[in-house]
Amino acid sequence: MGKQKKTRKYATMKRMLSLRDERLKEKDRLKPKKKEKKDPSALKEREVPQHPSCLFFQYNTQLGPPYHILVDTNFINFSIKAKLDLVQSMMDCLYAKCIPCITDCVMAEIEKLGQKYRVALRIAKDPRFERLPCAHKGTYADDCLVQRVTQHKCYIVATVDRDLKRRIRKIPGVPIMYISNHRYNIERMPDDYGAPRF
């Protein structure tokens, strides 16, 4: 019988002593953790998110013309597909002046899409669009839009993404703009928003 070949094991580490092992000297050994006893008479502190002052129940008092509309990546692409002019169609939907806003994340997403979506990039670089800088890490636009809308409730979110719509519906007082039947529609917009204020 020949010698059996030993297969080399990859990613194996040398066995190490546990820091609580008795073979270690007393000074090098890890001390056992002591559980802190909670005082039953102490007051329990709970952190409750502060209710936004801009909301009167579900009515958002910060929304009013000119409307600032946060645009998502897929909204621009679907608008091109439906042959809709973004600013004009927004004005036709809301009957007021609209300022489309594009965050750095959305811009980065469009740039990543490559040469195929160069028309969307050209539309996004339109001077009528307001650019919003992002301070966070990464370029995931959905999280960025949700975070921005949670902090500042003065925006309408324009998106076709189902997951993003579902997330925004949970935030009170934020309307959603979407595309249906080759035109823009608005969701959760009270009738009084278009009325003139005296």
Does the residue 8 lie in any domain?
A: no
Contact 110, 124 (CB under 8 A): yes
Range of the domain at 141: 70-187
Separation of alpha carbons 138 and 156, rounded Å: 23
Q: What is the pLDDT of residues 39-86, one digit of tens each?
A: 777 777 777 777 788 887 778 888 888 999 999 999 999 999 999 999
pLDDT on residue 88 = 95
Q: Does residue 38 have a pLDDT over 80?
A: no
Whether omega for the bond prior to residue 127 falls within 30 degrees of 0, making it cis, is no
| pLDDT-above-70 percentage for the chain | 90
Give the CATH number, domain containing residue 172. Answer: 3.40.50.1010
Give domain status of residue 102, yes or no.
yes
**Band (91; pLDDT cuts 50, 70, 90):** very high
Q: Is the pLDDT of residue 8 over 50?
A: yes
**pLDDT tens-place string over residues 116-174:** 999 999 999 999 999 999 988 888 899 999 999 999 999 999 999 999 999 999 998 89
Q: What is the pLDDT of residue 9?
A: 66
Antiparallel, parallel or unpaired: β 176-180 and 183-187: antiparallel
| Structural domains in the chain (count) | 1
The CB density around residue 193, as the number of other CB atoms within 10 Å, is: 17
**Quick check: is 38 in a domain?**
no
Confirm whether 132 is domain-assigned. Answer: yes
Q: Please check whether residue 115 is in contact with residue 122, taking contact to mean a CB–CB distance below 8 angstroms.
A: no
Residue 84: inside a domain: yes
Q: Does residue 53 lie in a domain region? A: no
How far is residue 178's CA from residue 13's CA, in Å, rounded to a whole number? 55
- Tens digit of each residue's pLDDT (9 = 90 or more) over 23-33: 877 777 777 77
Instruction: Evaluate whether residue 3 is within a structural domain.
Output: no
Farthest CA pair distance, the chain: 101
Residue 137 backbone class (left: φ over 0; alpha: ψ -120 to 50; beta: rest): beta
Output the pLDDT for position 184. Answer: 95
Does residue 148 lie within any of the structural domains? yes
What is the pLDDT, as a whole number, of residue 49? 73
Mean pLDDT for 164-189 is: 91
Is the pLDDT score of 198 beyond 60? no
Per-residue confidence (pLDDT) for residue 109, from 0 to 100 = 92
Judge whether residue 195 has pLDDT over 60.
no
